[in-house]
Structures are given as C-alpha cells and as structure tokens.
C-alpha cells in the first residue's frame, strides 16, 4: 500500500477509532464502596435490583462494614464512589481536598446504639467509666459517641476504648471481652439476637448522622454523565425502599444476617432520602466543629467547598423501570 492509500485509509478509519475508545472507557465499571449496614438500604437495593444496569451503567459493588474502610478505599483510589457516615466523610474531605460530597442517602439520629450484656450491672452512661468499650474509630458512631459523652460531662479518657471492627462486636460482647460497644445497625440488633441489652442510643444531640456519598473531582469531570445515571439509579432504589418495605427487609436480611422482622425494626431508626438539606448541612457543621474541638480535625472544612448539589439538582423524577 503506497503512502497516498495509507493516508486515505487512516482518514476514514480514524473517526471510527474514537467512538471505540470512548466506549471502552465507558465500559469500565464504576467501583462503588458500600456497607452492609441498615443505613445503606438504598445502595443495597440499587445493586440487588439491577437499577444501575437498567440505567445503562456497569457498577462493581465492593462491600465494607464501616465507613472508615470506605473512606480509605476512595482515598487510595481503590474505588470511584463511596458511602460513609458524617465523621468518616469529614475526616476524608479534610485529608483529600479533591473529594466532594454529592448527596446524603440516609440518616437517623437513633441509628447508633450502646449495647451491654443482658446481666451487666451497667445501667447508666456514668457506669461506663473504667469499662472496655468497643467502637470503630473514625466512623460516624465514633464521632457521635464522643459528642454524647461530652454532653453528659463524661471524659473519654475515663473509658477503655477498644478500636474494633463492628463484625466482631456481638461475639466479643457475648464472650465478655467487652463491657459494652457502640455501633450502628445491624450490629446492635445482631447483639440483641444474642441477648444483648440496649443501654442508650446517640439521639437527642441535634444531629441526624447523615450517610453521605463521596466522589473525587477527577471523576466528576471524566465521568459526569455516568454519575448522573448513578444518582438516577439510587433515586429509583429510594422509591423502592418506601414502596416495598417488606421486600427491602428481606434483601437487607440476606446482607446483614438479621431476621426480616429485626431488619424492619432497625429500618424504623432510619430515614431514606437523597438530599443535602439544611438539617443535614447543619448536622455536618456541628460534627465538624465538635471534631475540631476534640482535636480529631486540624480545621473545620468550608462545607460550601466540599459539597456539590449539582447531581441532586439535575436529578429530576426517576424514570420508571420495568414491571416487577
């Protein structure tokens, strides 16, 4: 083939290569870090009911059991999108300026609870002094527990805090390796199945403990349209949770190990809605200020810099899926 024919061939062939390359990029799955928590019902439903696929997305769900692990995954680039509680999110955006909060998908001021053994002499928060308390550090539960202790005038230093993965908490409590633990659902309910007893919840502090969705700005620029479809899939999942609570409970039961009945009770401690309203941003501001006072944050992040409502504003009504 002479040079003229080669040039003509490349002229007609090259435009075909560009869409092929774009399709290859689009075919890469969005890696989504989510949690096996009752609060992550919207994420779990979206994955289990194939709402992402129905929106034309390939999403690879990567399951974690605490927000600190999800935060580490997105910080290191192991995932593209991650869900986590307020404390983990605030620590993450303070650590990585390129992270953005694009939505809250759930909340609940009473979704964190303190559990003790059934025959424990611990009857009040002051009885926790000197006791071994399990909590996963860097999580929303951790931040809420610190706030509760401060509100009750109890020094964190008076407790023996053990940094523990929530998956191990119910068995550790049953074995009396812990005197109490603090966690979000389903861990407290799992412990109650082993006859654990609720001491208190973390409600009443003016905080709704939002569960947040984080992405990096680089993903927003490279895969903006896919993120819009990602949010549409979550909006469909939110509707499903409200319309079909019993089926939702069955799916969450498989994910968490709780009975459907206990899942139903745990769900009542949560609100499932895609939003970034004034209550949520106020809760974030309150938590950030408290974490700064506790020397967990070097500075209070400017929320207007780390929150973007672009995807929520453009969401619109979710498109109906096929009949089920």
Strand order in the sheet with 59-64: 59-64, 30-35, 81-85, 211-216, 99-106
Structural domain boundaries in the chain = 7-108+208-313, 112-201
- The rounded distance, in Å, linking the Cα atoms of 55 and 236 is 10
The residues with which 190 forms a beta bridge, in sequence order, are none
Say yes or no to pLDDT of 174 above 90: yes
DSSP at 320: P
Contact 196, 116 (CB under 8 A): yes
Per-residue pLDDT tens digits for 111-153:
999 999 999 999 999 999 999 999 999 999 999 999 999 999 9
- For the record, the structure tokens of 93 come out as 């955006």
Contact 267, 106 (CB under 8 A): no
- The rounded distance, in Å, linking the Cα atoms of 132 and 176 is 10
- The rounded distance, in Å, linking the Cα atoms of 320 and 303 is 34
Q: What is the mean pLDDT of residues 81-107?
A: 97
- For the record, the structure tokens of 224 come out as 């903006």
pLDDT-derived band at 68 (thresholds 50, 70, 90) equals very high
Instruction: Please give the CATH topology (third level) of the domain spanning 112-201.
Output: D-Maltodextrin-Binding Protein; domain 2 (3.40.190)
Q: What pLDDT, on a 0 to 100 scale, did the predictor assign at position 315?
A: 87
Q: Tell which residue, 35, 121, 143, has the closest CA to residue 82.
A: 35
How distant, in Å, are the alpha carbons of 124, 146, 191 from that of 132?
Answer: 15, 15, 16
Per-residue pLDDT tens digits for 264-309:
999 999 999 999 999 999 999 999 999 999 999 999 999 999 999 9
- The phi-psi region of residue 87 (left if phi > 0; otherwise alpha if psi is between -120 and 50; otherwise beta) is alpha
Q: What pLDDT, on a 0 to 100 scale, did the predictor assign at position 316?
A: 63
Average pLDDT, the chain: 90
What CATH architecture does domain 7-108+208-313 belong to?
3-Layer(aba) Sandwich (3.40)
pLDDT-derived band at 317 (thresholds 50, 70, 90) equals low
Could you tell me what percentage of the chain is helix, strand and coil, using 3-state DSSP and rounding each to the nearest 5?
A: 50, 20, 30
Do the domains at 7-108+208-313 and 112-201 have one common CATH topology? yes
- For the record, the structure tokens of 317 come out as 């009504």
Alpha helices by DSSP H, listed for the chain, are 3-27, 41-48, 51-54, 67-76, 86-95, 140-151, 169-174, 187-193, 217-222, 224-243, 245-256, 260-267, 278-293, 303-306, 310-313
Say yes or no to pLDDT of 31 above 70: yes
Q: What pLDDT, on a 0 to 100 scale, did the predictor assign at position 17?
A: 42
- Would you call 160 helix, strand, or coil by DSSP? strand
- For the record, the structure tokens of 206 come out as 């003016």
- The rounded distance, in Å, linking the Cα atoms of 182 and 203 is 13
Per-residue pLDDT tens digits for 2-26:
544 544 444 444 444 444 433 444 5
Per-residue pLDDT tens digits for 182-210:
999 999 999 999 899 999 999 999 999 99
Per-residue pLDDT tens digits for 242-260:
999 999 999 999 999 999 9
């Amino acid at each position: 083939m002479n040079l003229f024919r080669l040039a003509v061939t490349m002229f007609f062939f090259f435009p075909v290569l560009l869409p092929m390359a774009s399709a290859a990029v689009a075919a890469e799955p969005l890696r989504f870090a989510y949690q096996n928590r009752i609060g992550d019902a919207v994420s779990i439903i979206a994955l289990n009911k194939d709402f992402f696929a129905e929106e034309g997305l390939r999403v690879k769900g990567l399951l974690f059991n605490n927000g600190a692990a999800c935060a580490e995954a997105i910080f290191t680039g192991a995932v593209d999108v991650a869900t986590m509680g307020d404390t983990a999110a605030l620590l993450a955006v303070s650590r990585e300026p390129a992270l953005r909060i694009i939505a809250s998908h759930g909340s609940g001021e009473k979704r964190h609870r303190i559990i003790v053994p059934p025959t424990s002499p611990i009857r009040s928060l002051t009885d926790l002094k000197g006791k071994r308390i399990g909590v996963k550090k860097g999580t929303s539960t951790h931040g809420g527990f610190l706030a509760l202790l401060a509100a009750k005038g109890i020094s964190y230093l008076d407790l023996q805090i053990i940094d523990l993965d929530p998956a191990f908490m119910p068995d550790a409590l049953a074995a009396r390796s812990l005197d109490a633990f603090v966690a979000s659902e389903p861990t407290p309910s799992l412990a109650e199945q082993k006859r654990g007893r609720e001491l208190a919840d973390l409600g009443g502090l003016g905080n709704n403990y939002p569960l947040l969705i984080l992405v990096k700005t680089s993903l927003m620029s490279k895969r903006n349209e896919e993120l819009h479809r990602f949010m549409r899939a979550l909006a469909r999942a939110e509707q499903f949770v409200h319309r079909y609570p019993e089926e939702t409970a069955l799916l969450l039961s498989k994910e968490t190990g709780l009975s459907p009945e206990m899942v139903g009770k745990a769900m009542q401690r949560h609100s499932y809605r895609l939003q970034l309203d004034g209550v949520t941003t106020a809760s974030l501001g309150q938590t950030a200020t408290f974490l700064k006072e506790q020397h967990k944050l070097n500075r209070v992040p400017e929320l207007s810099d780390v929150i973007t409502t672009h995807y929520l504003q453009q969401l619109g009504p979710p498109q109906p899926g096929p009949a089920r």
